[in-house]
Amino acid sequence: MAATVFYLDDIPEPGATAVLDGPEGRHAATVRRIRVGEALTLSDGHGILADSEVVAAAKDRLELKVLSKRVAEPWTPQVTVVQALPKSDRSELAVELMTEAGADAIVPWQALRCVSNWEAKARKGVEKWRAAAKQAARQSRRAYIPDVADLHTTRDLLELVRAAKANGALVAALHESGEFRLTEMSFEGVPEVILIVGPEGGLDDSELKALTDAGADVVQLGPTVLRTSTAAAVALGALGALTPRW
């Protein structure tokens, strides 16, 4: 893969010319100062990768000759992070870290003890998370941009957990009260892992009971209690070593 990845919705076949404009084109041409003759990788954010060469550059757009095109294999198992809303100053950081660490999907959750409340600004919050996920995916040269779902209530989350369990997923609610650690779980044959990360104040007892009733396992991540904004990234690192993802 080339040193730089930029996202383009519709990538043409090898031999054709792709046009990178809009925010991606401005970032490439103005911020990164990419010039004619340089190589970069295009991705549609859904697994397609294309090696290309810049054949023309303007102030806010690049024209690129597509040299080759391929599909990147998705990681197995797929990992969805349910992230209780962190404080506003750490919210997008949490998304960036979990994207760089390999999250395949992200679900923002309005938990009981969340300091942040998106009730009146859910659309804006989700859009910020999607932008943060895209930027972090580019930074880490990912072929897949994590899907960021709409804001979930606890009722929505419980429905998600039940449906995932019915499809063979492993659901782990990260909490210090767990009787065993994430590293002690078996992931053999598991198609999807769902990690549930609570807010700064921790998961409420009623939430823990509802989640376990829905089929989730309450597990410790490790010997220390981590910030909500970093817990998912640490858990994803552990999963990378425990499963074929790495």
Residue 2 has pLDDT above 60, yes or no: no
What pLDDT shows up at residue 49?
A: 96
Sign of CA dihedral 217, 219, 221, 224: positive
What pLDDT shows up at residue 1?
A: 43
What pLDDT shows up at residue 3?
A: 57
What pLDDT shows up at residue 59?
A: 87
Higher pLDDT, 190 or 59: 190
Distance in angstroms between the alpha carbons of the first and the last residue of the chain = 17
What pLDDT shows up at residue 222?
A: 85
**Alpha-carbon span 98 to 100, nearest angstrom:** 5
Instruction: Indicate the angle between helix axes 154-166 and 205-214, nearest 10 degrees.
Output: 30
**Alpha-carbon span 56 to 48, nearest angstrom:** 23
Higher pLDDT, 83 or 201: 83
Residue ranges of domains in the chain: 5-71, 78-242
pTM of the model: 0.93
List pLDDT tens digits, range 89-139: 899 999 999 999 999 999 999 999 999 999 889 999 999 999 999 999 999
List pLDDT tens digits, range 97-110: 999 999 999 999 99
**CB neighbours (10 Å) of residue 176?**
15
**CB neighbours (10 Å) of residue 20?**
24
Distances from the Cα of 44 to the Cαs of 5, 120, 144, 202, 213, in angstroms? Answer: 10, 32, 8, 37, 39
Query: Which one is the CATH code of 78-242: 3.40.50.2300, 3.40.50.360, 3.20.20.70, 3.40.1280.10?
Result: 3.40.1280.10
List pLDDT tens digits, range 202-228: 999 999 999 999 999 999 998 888 999
The domain made up of 5-71 has a fold known as Ribosomal Protein L25; Chain P (2.40.240)
- Report residue 53: phi and psi, to 5°: -130, 135
Residues 156-170: what's their mean pLDDT?
98
- Report residue 234: phi and psi, to 5°: -65, -45
Tokens representing residue 215 in the block? 């089929």
